[in-house]
Every structure is written in C-alpha cells, then in structure tokens.
Amino acid sequence: MAKSLTRAADSRAPAKSRQKQLPASRAESRAFGEPQGEGGETHQIAEGDVATLTTAQGVPVADDQNSLKQGERGPTLMEDFHFREKIFHFDHERIPERVVHARGFGAHGYFELTESLADITRADIFQRVGERTEAFVRFSTVAGSKGSADLARDVRGFAVKLYTKEGNWDLVGNNIPVFFIQDAMKFPDLVHAAKPEPDRGFPQAQTAHDNFWDFISLTPESMHMVMWIMSDRTIPRSFRFMEGFGVHTFRLLDEDGRSTFVKFHWKPKLGLQSVAWNEAVKINGADPDFHRRDLWAAIEAGDFPEWELGLQLFDEEFADSFEFDVLDSTKIIPEELVPIRTVGRLVLDRRVDNFFAETEQVAFCTQNIVPGIDFTNDPLLQGRNFSYLDTQLKRLGSPNFMHLPINAPRCPFAHFQQDGHMAMRNPVGRANYEPNSWGAGIGGPREDPARGFKSFAEPADGEKLRIRPESFADHYSQARQFYVSQTPIEQKHIGDALVFELSKVERADIRSRMLSHLIHIDDGLARTVGNGLGLALPEPAKATRQPIGDLPPSDALSIVKRGPQSFAGRKLGLLVTDGADAALVQALLNAVDEAGAMVEIVAPKIGGATLSDGKILGAHQKIDGGPSVLYDAVAIVASEEGGQMLAMDAPAKDFLTDAFAHCKFIGLGPGTEPLLARTGLAADVDDGCISLSGKADAKAFVAALAPLRFWAREPLVDLDALET
C-alpha cells in the first residue's frame, strides 16, 4: 500500500490572514499568546510581523498540521512531544464536564450475534450465533454543554460499550461515517473553533459563527464532513432513527494473525428520519430534552430500540486499488463497492438506575479493544487512542475509573495495578509485581500467550516525518458524491443550511472563502448559496488534487431514499375537543396501535375532553404545551363548537400551520373547517391533508403516514426553496 507524499500546506491560512492583532494597550498586551521576557515583560510584535508558534515550553513549532509518524503511512510516534502537549492540554480544559460530547443520554441492552465470523476473527463476541453480550450505549451531541438542547445542529455521538467474555470493547463512533480532520493534531483546533468564542462565551451548541467557518474554510479536508453536517443527518428525529458508524478502518484478526480490514455500521431497525430546521428550532423551545424523553419513553413502553450491526470487510488488494486511502477518516467506502454484511443486532431494553452513576461516569476509550480486533495506522484513530485515557483520568479524577460498576468488565480480570484515589480493589497477598517467585495462586496472575491479545504484525519503516500522504490529498470528490446522492429536497436542505450558517458569519471574506470550496463540490450549490448570501462567486479554491467528477451516486447516503415505509415507532399528535366523534377517535387509536406507533392526546385543557359518547378522554398535553413539532403526524377531530373555539386559539392555529409548513401528514376530521379558514389554509389543502369523515377512514389515514413527510409541499411553502 505504498503511497506518495504531499505536505498539508493547503490547510494553512495565508500569511496575511494569520497576522497577529496588536494589543490596544500595554495592559492588554499581557494577554495569553504574547511572548514574554524575563520577569513577565512583554515583547511587542511589530505591525505586520507574524508571531512564531511555539510549544508551551517556548520551543518553535515547524509543523502544526501533522503528527509525527514512522514512515509515509505508519503509526503515530509517542515521542511527538508537541502533539502530546497539545492533546494533553486540550483534554484537561474542562472539569468535570466532558470537553466534547458533554450532553449525553444512555441505556443498557445487549448485542446478539446472528452470523458467526469465526472464519475471519478470533474475537469471542463474533463466534457463537444466538449468544448475547451485555451492552451500554451513550448517545450525545458534540459541541454543546450539558445544559444545551437536544436538537442543535450537530454530530451525534454513538458510543457502544460491549462487555465481552474477553474484556470490554468500546466502539466509540458517531452518526456520521467521516470526520472533519485527517490528523488528531488538529482536533483541539477544530473543537476550539466550534465551541463558544472564548472572549464572549457564545454561541452555545452552534457552529453558525465566524470562528468555526474561518477554521473550516482554511481546512479543505473538512469539505466532505461539511456536506454531512449541513444535511439533515445532524438534526435527527430520534436516537432511535439514526445510524452509527465506527468512522475509522479497523482490522479483524483470525487465530493465525491474518488480517481483514473492517468498517463498522449500526443500522436502525426503524429506518432513518430527521426533522426540518425550523422544526428543530421550535422543538428546542418546546422540549429541550426531546431526544432524551423519546428514548426513555420508548424503553418504558417496551418498544425497544434496535440496530443491526453491519460490517464492510475488505482486504489489502481492495485497499490498494480503491481511489481513496482507507486510513483517511474524511473518506467512506460506498456500500455499492463493499456491501454491508449484517452479523448481529443491538437492542436497548433497560434504562439506567442513576443518570450520574452510569451515563455521566461511563468512560469510553477507543483503545479498549479485545483479542481478534486491532487498530490501523489511521492518524486520527492513533491520536484518539492516546487522548481518551488521558481525558478520563482528568474527568473522573482517578486512574481507578475502571472500578466504577458501569466501567468494570463483566468477565474475570486480574492485574497488579494498585492504590490511587478511590481504589476499591487492590492486589491481595504479598506479590504486587511480575515476574515474581511466589508460585501459582500466591504469585498472582500470569501472561497467557495463547489467549492473550496480539497486535497485527505490520512492518513499519521509513523516516520520521510530519507529513500527509498524497493519498489523503483529494478533499472534494467524496463531498460531491455525497451531495449528488441526495434527493432534490435533501439538496435544498443542505443549501438552506449553508446559507443560514454563513449568514451568521460577520466577515465577508470567510463567507467568500467557503464559496470557493463549494464550487469544487457542485457549481449549482455554490451559486445557490452565493445568491442566498448576496455574494458573487469567487475564484475556485486551489485544489491539491483534481477532484474526480464522475463518482456515482450512492443511495445509501440519502435519508429519503433509504427512509422507512412504515409509521411504526412514530408518534401521532391527536388534537381533540369536547364533543369530538368518539367512534372516529377510537378508530384512530386502534389503527395507530396496530401500526406499532404511539398516540398522544392534545386538548384545550390538560384534563382532557368529553367526547360525543359522554366519556372523558384524558389528555397527555394541553394545546399550548403540545405543539405539532413534537409529533411525526397530526390529526384534528373537533365538534362544531370545538372547531369554532380552535379557530380563535393561537396555539391551535400554530398546531395546524406548523404541521403544514413542516410537510407533515395531517388528518382533518369533523369541525376543522373554521380552523382551516382562519389559518388561510382552506385553499391550500393538498394530498398530504387527508379527510377523516368517520371511523372508516382511520386505517387508510394511518397507512398513508408511512412516508412520514409530504415533501412535495415544501417548494410551495418555503420561499428559500432552491432550484435543484
């Protein structure tokens, strides 16, 4: 797999843009970053000069873009003191909250093997079909604090801890299969740029600000990820309806040490689904815990979330022939080239007993693998392996975090590690070292060459270099492939998102610089975003490698193309008033239940409504506390008097107009005519608005909800609709 080399010079800012702002006064000149002399005296930097980047020890830095590796594509070296210092400081910036993935929610469950992989890996978890392995999963947002809202536009963490018979395996992934950067050296810079700006402490859980887009526009390797984060993937409807990915290329090893490359995928059994951006904003106001509540309620109801574990398996021959480097975390392998092999299922069937003890104290480390699974030389993965353990030490305050029940292995374990803060277990007896002469039992545990972990015997040679391989140099081709794989409505959403985010950027040069990259991805997209920002298209950004313009679309990259064709697992919001048709209401309840979905009753009063049969139907939500954004589809059933009342009620009008604007299917029962007239929608009723004249219409209505959205409506209700 020999590859040629190129320096990552394209990811650096031009010298002019990196010029240091001079302090306004002597007092201000003592700010962090100003070179200081003996006694703290500040060395002034002349106007137009550029300060030399140094380590915290004052050592000048020659390359801040690449970690030190052994050979062109070799492993990252521990002697890289600049990388270690940078990551070390970054890992310790926050206490006790996680620096990233601070807002999370977890649940217990199990992994069940459905197809043996004994022919390609010795990993115990992949040997016996039907065997279940205990699991804990933590979902999270990345950029926001613990107190941020669930529906921020953000990558979602999808971290799985599997308590196997040969130790804990942590598959620490995201709901997106690629990442922003190729080398862990840049991780602190990425997160610093995405987090609230340090001088003002905002915006929270948002990337719509200058710092983020300044960094991204100076980092062409991020362009593929930009397409993903500007798509609906970053505003999922539920944890239950999103994919998970291991991101990196790993290895599976058999009994003889033979290697097979693998990429891990979690596929939701209920299919993919996201929300609209305007909807996400309103959900954050109505219920900032929307994703947490959804997962809790599903498990409580016995509707256990489930994913299939799929593997992409390939060999060195494929890796050498593939257009892109399999060690590059900004790239995918399309499923059409390497199909997904489904080998198991993950089921979440138990909530935590205590949020802090389990969800907050769970410690995931990418380095936690088991015999039969191994790393590759992906430089981002190599850096994560160093960083995570250091992070857990700072966050949990002790090297003994594995003593916490949520982190402890479920298999037998024995070692000589002792003492330290919060040690709950220590070696028993005289021997606390190895080798020793005390014999079996007394002398403690010993190595097991047969069962023990063995790394893949991969040769490493070459010069020690801070460099990127030439095979990492194409930053636009797969970004374009992702974009052209989307349906027109999804392409519209990407364009809308870019216009929204960049419209919050104050500096016109940053906005223009992003347009220069978008030209390489899709000229129509660049023009649409330029028009939305009122900017003319600039010259295209300089590409270090000519993009491949004819990569075929991949249906697996589209949410809509791979969307569910069932309302199962979803929620109908049913707005009722006093006097509503009891038979129709009951028929809707029955039809939704048969479809494997849920109903939430919304009424003018939380006490419920007295239906036409004189019986009281209890309400889950009062109308102003149960807006339509909380539901996947809505239906309204009212009496004549109740319909007149709804037409005068602002929250009821919002219930209907928001559902219409968000392209949801709407069931219109008796009594809705005054509300339609008052909202001005009477003339706009379309095929997504379904008449419910009586109980006979209930089943057909629920069956019509399977596509989840009536996307044909959006170009008619959204003035930002793009030509695609």
Residue 525 to residue 543: CA distance in whole angstroms: 18
Q: How are beta strands 633-637 and 571-576 bridged, if at all?
A: parallel
Active site residue 224: no
- For 662, the 3-state DSSP assignment is coil
Q: Which residue has the tokens 């291991």?
A: 246
Residue 434 to residue 704: CA distance in whole angstroms: 68
Question: Which residue of the set 82, 108, 168, 174 is catalytic?
Answer: 174
- How would DSSP label each residue in 411-431? S--------STT------SS-
Distances 570 to 46, 592, 603, 625 between C-alpha atoms, Å: 62, 9, 20, 19
Q: Which residue has the tokens 């928001």?
A: 658
- For 424, the 3-state DSSP assignment is coil
CB 473 within 8 A of CB 548: no
| Residue 571, strand partner residues | 598
| Residue 307, strand partner residues | 268, 346
Q: Which of 345, 353, 156, 363 is nearest to 239 (CA)?
A: 156
Active site residue 101: yes
Q: Which residue has the tokens 């070692």?
A: 415
Q: How are beta strands 306-314 and 259-268 bridged, if at all?
A: antiparallel
SS3 sequence of 566-634: CCCCCEEEEEECCCCCHHHHHHHHHHHHHCCCEEEEEECCCCCEECCCCCEECCCEEHHHCCHHHCCEE
Q: Count each helix (H run) and each strand (E run) in the chain, helices first.
A: 19, 22
CB 694 within 8 A of CB 581: yes
Residue 615 to residue 271: CA distance in whole angstroms: 37
Question: Which residue of the set 101, 224, 493, 517 is catalytic?
Answer: 101
Q: Which of 295, 299, 293 is nearest to 349 (CA)?
A: 299
- Tell whether omega for the bond before 540 is within 30 degrees of 0, i.e. cis: no
The token pair at 208 is 């719509």
CB 116 within 8 A of CB 344: no
CB 118 within 8 A of CB 171: no
CB 390 within 8 A of CB 88: yes
Q: Would you name the residues annotated as active-site residues?
A: 101, 174
